[in-house]
Structure formats: C-alpha cells, structure tokens
Amino acid sequence: LYLKNNRNNNMDLKEKIIKLKEEKNAVILVHNYQRPEIHDVADFIGDSLGLSREATKTDADIIVFCGVDFMAETAKILNPEKRVIVPSIRALCPMAKQITSEQIMEAKSKYPEAKVVLYVNTHAKEKTLADCVCTSANADKIVNAMDSDTVIFGPDDNLGYYVRKRTDKKVVSVPRDGYCYTHRNLSGADLLKAKSKHPNAQVVVHPECIPEVQEAADHIASTEGMIRFCRESGNKEFIVGTEIGLINRLRKEIPEKTFFPLSPVAICGPQKENTLEGVLMCLEKENPEIKLPADVLEKAKKPIERMLELS
C-alpha cells in the first residue's frame, strides 16, 4: 500500500511539474546520477559536458538544474541572463570544495609557465583562475591542447592519474590528493568480487575511480562514454563502476543488456538531495536561485567556452 501511494504521489508530482514547467517556459536539466523519478521529468539527461552544451542551447526563461552546485553554477555562467534555480541548496559536491583559489595561485607562482586546467567540478570563483575547464569526457584532450609543457590540474587526482597516462606533459595536481568520495570507495576488492560473480561481464569504470580500479577495467570513460561503450560493445553483460544512478539510465536505454553495479553502495548523497517535491517547489517559488557576482560570471565564462570550443 505504501509503494502504491508513493507511486501515485510521484505521478501527481510529475504531472504538476510538467504543467508548471510549460507555463513558465522552463527547462529541466538533469545529471545522470539523479534519482530515477527526476530522470522522468527531465528535458535533457546527461553528464557535465552534455549538460553544459545543453545549457548554451536553451531558449527557456528558467533553467531548473537537478545536479550539484558546481553544475548549476556552470549553467548560470553560460546563461547569465536566465534564472537558474535548484531543488535543494544541500546538493553540494564535496570534491568542488577541495580546491581553493590560494592553492591555485601558489601553484601558479611555482610554475609560472604552466597553464591551469580545472575539472568542471570546481566553484565559479576558482574557474576564474583557469585557462581552460575540462570534464571527465575530455580531460586528456584538453590537457594535450594546452600550449605549455606543464599543466596545473585539479581537484581530482584520480582523473589526474588518468590524464598522466595519456599525455607527455607534466601534470601537477592541486591539491595533491583531491578525490570524489563516491568513486574512491570503489575498491579493487569490489571489482574482483563482482568479476567472480559475473565472469562474462565487461568492466567499465569512471576515471574518478582509484588507479587500481582503472587498471583492472576493460574501459574507462565519462558517464556518457560508458553508455556509448555498453551500447556499442558486442558483450551482453557489464559491471559498472560509477554512481549507481547511471544503472537506471543504462537499463532503460539498453534493455537488451544486463548491468551490475561494481558496488551497490556507490551512492552520491548530495546528488540524491534533489527530490520531486523539491523540483516542484523551486518551480513554484522560482527559488533557490543561483546568483554569482558579475565579475565572476564574466571571468569564469572564458575557460568554459574554451573547453566547449576544444571539445
């Protein structure tokens, strides 16, 4: 009875959201790691790169951003004249907090010739210090496109490991050991356990995973890259090493194949802060709204646009 009531309640909420979204000319952009019921009301679902691209294309007056703080900020930077609202102010990425402007300035003074490439998982203030932003879909390509032998890179040192294996440049991590807690919790032991249960499955993992897991995988890619790989592979079974929200999308979009999470506890708490109730409420109140100082909006736009050009 509880499940039935919950389903009916969700149906109600979804209908209200879709109606209000149309009335207000709003668009709902949703990250792959969001709850399945939020995927159901999305106009676009994707990874950080796809969502950034989508944010540049929309002619909506309001962007409802269902992801975490740095993603909504990126949408605002690319659409300074639009209202960008979020369902929860608690959806804050812990990785984005791991890098500060002071750390970047210190690295710049140590390596004055180096270019700065920042993962999109950073706050707007830090992005103003970057020569270029990158996502997990294009990090190696962006680093290789920089016209310097040394690149200051942060905050994710596991993505830094992935990049180092694909470039001849010196990659200096700032901070030295930044990480995503959701992906760092995926261990080599988890991978071996999943492999012994599903010996015919291919292992596909995100580059935020630790080096040991990256080395044992059949393929490493961003979430969109993982979906593409699973769709195009001749294999029928996959062990998926990323936040479990992606499994929902994989099962929906590629129903003829089977997906197993590398670990069922790979859950990003901040991404799950957003709920259907939150989406409806923020649409009704047009709040909480992302606001950034004008100079930050202007300066942070350049490295994001540079990434979009290069990718």
Between residues 94 and 288, which has the closer beta carbon with respect to ligand SF4?
A: 94
Q: Which of 70, 69, 64 is nearest to 87 (CA)?
A: 64
Does residue 154 contact residue 178 with C-beta atoms inside 8 Å? Answer: yes
Which of 268, 280, 283, 297 contacts ligand SF4 by CB under 6 A? Answer: 268
Both tokens of 194, joined, read 């999943």
The residues facing 153 across adjacent strands are 117, 173
Residues 6 or more apart whose Cβ sits within 8 Å of residue 189: none
Does residue 77 contact residue 55 with C-beta atoms inside 8 Å? Answer: no
Q: How far is the CB of 149 from ligand SF4 (least distance, A)?
A: 28
Please tell me whether residue 270 binds ligand SF4 under the rule CB under 6 A. yes
The gap from C-alpha 117 to its chain's centroid, in whole angstroms, comes to 16
Choose the binding region for ligand SF4 from 87-95, 99-107, 168-176, 227-235 (rule: CB under 6 A): 87-95
Please tell me whether residue 271 binds ligand SF4 under the rule CB under 6 A. yes
Give the C-alpha separation, 29 to 96, whole Å: 20
Site for ligand SF4 in 112-171 (CB under 6 A): 121
Does residue 285 contact residue 24 with C-beta atoms inside 8 Å? Answer: no
Between residues 80 and 269, which has the closer beta carbon with respect to ligand SF4?
A: 269
Contact letters (x/-) for ligand SF4, 53-72, by CB under 6 A? Answer: ---------------x----
Please tell me whether residue 223 binds ligand SF4 under the rule CB under 6 A. no
Please tell me whether residue 175 binds ligand SF4 under the rule CB under 6 A. no
Q: Which residues bind ligand SF4 (CB under 6 A)?
A: 33, 68, 93-95, 121, 180-182, 243, 268, 270-271
